[in-house]
Structure 1
Amino acid sequence: MTTPPGDSLLFEVAAPPTPVERLLRLAGQYVQHNDTLDRLLRADSPSGPDAHTASAQQLASATRAAVKALTDERLFASRELSDAVVRLQQLAFLSDASIGQPLATARMLTALAPAAAMHCADTLALELRRRRRNATDAPTHQLAATHRTALWEIGCGNVVATSSQGRHYVHCLDEHVPIGTLRALETSGLAERDPKSAPSAYQAGPLQDRILLTSVGTTALAAVICSPSAPSTTAAPAATATKRTARSR
């Protein structure tokens, strides 16, 4: 029996996500979970109370895994970081609590989860940056401020897209994301659409395209999150959504 060459044993292995990337991905999972609940709530035929059970269980597990990844960093237990851990533990509890609840109640319990996960990612990134402030080998990343803002809004689940009579629109809950910026992010592989997955803008209206971060977009945002020119993310997520705005090309 011959031993195969050493090169034949080598293969590409994807690097595990960083704790910040894990939190950004978690936010995206909550966005998609909430979109699913919204579609079920707007369906003509009512769904059973267990329609979202598997998704909620997966989210609770993913959130607890994110807490472990954060605590494994063994960072200085600042008040901000301690609050972030508590917030994530609350998200896991709320995801578990939503199982078996009526859809409307389940949707309410995870309504603020995407923004909360994003703000926890921002807090963790700040703590990591403080710890590595004197590192000489810290990588540098270039990302336009408008792109950075757009990626943050997308991560929070604030951006959807629609089209009507040949015109394309971007609908935002907070910061304005120009359609040109969205197209640039899609072209560069930083953002992608999940067609007809987001709830309609009005009763009985058509489903909208949810804009999501790609894995590349998640990595790019994780690298620049909480940098001086990034959008302000220190405030806690608002309890109520801001007014929706639409922009056309």
Structure 2
Amino acid sequence: MTTPSYEGVLFEVPTPVEQLLHLAGECTRHNDAIDVHLSTGAGAGSVAHAASARTLAHDTHAALRAIRDQRLNNSMELAHTQIRLRQLGFLSAVSADYNPAAARELTALATDTVMDSASAVALQMLRRDPTGHRAPAARLTPIQHSALEQIARGHVVANSSLGREYTRSHEPKISMSTLRSLEAENLAERAPATACPPYHGGPLQDRVRLTPAGIATLATVLARPAPQQNTGPSAAAVPLPAAAPATAKSR
């Protein structure tokens, strides 16, 4: 994968999909901050949480306005998407008046709600004008495509133990080598010690986030099918090594 240039992309007016991807990252940061506070007693307290919740509400309504400005076909799917976002805006605003533990429940599904909305809006925009949609800013492998979506959904963290780095993610697993390839392309980055420990009393984990370039790239491919893995006749002819007796963590 060659390193793309983002000079022009990053200074263009963000699309509604890019706004939603940015909002999804805000939701993850908001929930992570509460989780860290509740699990360790460190980090922001109720005052900071309330300010963050109000920002989420404001930015959710801004994303809704951006969607309406697109004048997309008024499909049932788009109508439901806007309803879910309005509900999220309301829940985020209300959560500012609750203590962190109760407020965390109100925004528990925020990131996935925003990501589902981003996918729906991206699909509607692509249907309306397949040729006018921005071309992908980078050529992604199937694994990288999947990894960017998982990162955007707040499903990927990184950590180290005994001098070795590893990742934790949902299925399909995102390996450390995949994360490093995205970091090398400036599509992803780690925010040190911002995610909840993997076990009680354990160290804080590094949340993996999309960079602005990562948001721009994912926005262009979100509604498109993931690229197919290139397999040739020779691939099946190579014998697989015998299975190792023990398994190892993803690296």
* AA at the equivalent of 1:161: A
Distance 1:160 1:151 in 2: 13
Matched, 1:151 2:148: yes
1:160 maps to 157
Alignment of 1:85-104 (within 5 A): 85-104=82-101
Q: 1:9-24, aligned counterparts within 5 Å?
A: 14-24=11-21
CA RMSD of aligned residues (A): 2.1
Q: Which runs of 5+ in 2 are unaligned?
A: 1-9, 229-247
Q: Does residue 190 of the first structure (1) align with residue 190 of the second (2)? A: no
TM-score (norm 2): 0.83
Q: How does 1:56-95 map to 2 (within 5 A)?
A: 56-95=53-92
Q: Helix, strand or coil for the counterpart of 2:193?
A: strand
Residues 126 and 133 in structure 2, CA contact (< 8 A), matched pair in contact too: no
Partner of 1:50 in structure 2? 47
- The residue type equivalent to 1:184 in the other structure is S
AA matched with 2:135: P
- Is the alpha carbon distance of 1:176 and 1:191 closer, same or farther for their aligned partners in structure 2, counting shifts above 3 Å? same
* Structure 2 letter corresponding to 1:27: A
3-state DSSP of counterpart to 2:171: coil
In the alignment, what sits opposite 1:112? 109
CA shift, 1:16, in A, is 2.1
Partner Cα distance (1:210, 1:94) in 2: 24
1:76 aligned partner, one-letter code: N
How far is 1:230 from its partner?
6.5
Moved more, 45-54 or 95-104: 45-54
Asked whether the 8 Å contact 2:144–2:182 carries over to 1, the reply is yes
Runs (4 or more) in structure 1 with deviation over 4 Å come to 45-48
> In 2 relative to 1, CA 208–45 (structure 1 residues): closer, same or farther, beyond 3 Å?
closer
Aligned: 1:139 with 2:139: no
Distance 1:182 1:223, change over 3 A: same
Distance apart, 1:97 and its partner CA: 1.0
Q: Secondary structure at the match of 1:192?
A: strand
Counterpart in the other structure of 1:173: 170
Letter in 1 for 2:177: G
After TM superposition, give the deviation of residue 100 of structure 1 in Å: 1.9
Q: Provide the residue aligned with 2:35 in structure 1.
A: 38
- Structure 1 residue 145, shift from structure 2 partner: 1.1
Partners of 1:160 and 1:149 lie apart in 2 by 15
Alignment partner of 2:112: what SS? helix
Q: Is 1:226–2:223 an aligned residue pair?
A: yes
Does structure 2 retain, via aligned residues, the 8 Å contact 1:149–1:230? no
Cα distance in 2, alignment partners of residues 217 and 223 from structure 1: 10
Query: Do the aligned partners of residues 53 and 136 (structure 1) sit closer, same or farther apart at CA in structure 2, a change above 3 Å counting?
Result: closer
Distance 1:46 1:14 in 2: 33
| Ranges in structure 1 where 5+ consecutive residues have no aligned partner | 1-12, 232-245
Calculate percent identity across the aligned residue pairs: 43
- Whole-angstrom distance in 2 between the partners of 1:46 and 1:23: 26
Give the aligned partner of residue 241 of structure 1.
none
